Amino acid sequence: MEFLRHLVLLFHLVGFAILFGAWAVELVNGHRGVTRLMNWGLAIAAVAGLILAAPWGIEYELNYVKIGVKLVILLVIGALLGIGAGRQRKGGKVPPAVFWSIGVLTLANAAIAVLWR
């Protein structure tokens, strides 16, 4: 059971890596847009995160305030990805505030996960 939980945690981290990695690529290549890979990363992190939010395979209490905050941030990132994709579809550029918020909020969620005990 514990091994299975760690496996789901690994997928959760892969989702984070894909989302943040895809964002970093856009930052460095100068396009500063949103890509399908970001949606995939978010979806993987969300599904694995929700599975981890259930208390199985652990002997400690989960911090549901922390998990709730992460869920809200994830929904905001999802909304920003939608807004960015909409702008791109109309031939425009993703507003810098939207682009930067996606990266900062993703990093914030990882920081909350690791630093909030």
Q: At what angle do helices 96-115 and 2-29 cross, to 10 degrees?
A: 150
Within 10 Å of residue 84's Cβ, how many Cβ atoms? 24
Least Å distance, CB 108 to ligand HEM, is 8
**Piece in contact with ligand HEM (CB under 6 A), picked from 31-39, 86-94, 96-104, 107-115:** 107-115
User: Are the C-beta atoms of 56 and 13 separated by less than 8 Å?
Assistant: no
User: Are the C-beta atoms of 36 and 79 separated by less than 8 Å?
Assistant: no
Q: Which is nearer to ligand HEM, 2 or 86 (CB)?
A: 2
DSSP 54: S
Least Å distance, CB 58 to ligand HEM, is 6
Q: Which is nearer to ligand HEM, 79 or 92 (CB)?
A: 79
What is the rounded CA–CA span in Å between residue 12 and residue 116? 17
Q: Which is nearer to ligand HEM, 21 or 33 (CB)?
A: 21
Which position has the token pair 């911090």?
A: 63
Q: For the chain, how many residues are written?
A: 117
List the x/- string, 52-81, binding to ligand HEM by CB under 6 A.
Answer: xx----x--------x--xx--x--x----
Task: List residues near ligand HEM by CB under 6 A.
Answer: 9, 12-13, 16, 19, 45-46, 49-50, 52-53, 58, 67, 70-71, 74, 77, 106, 109-110, 113-114
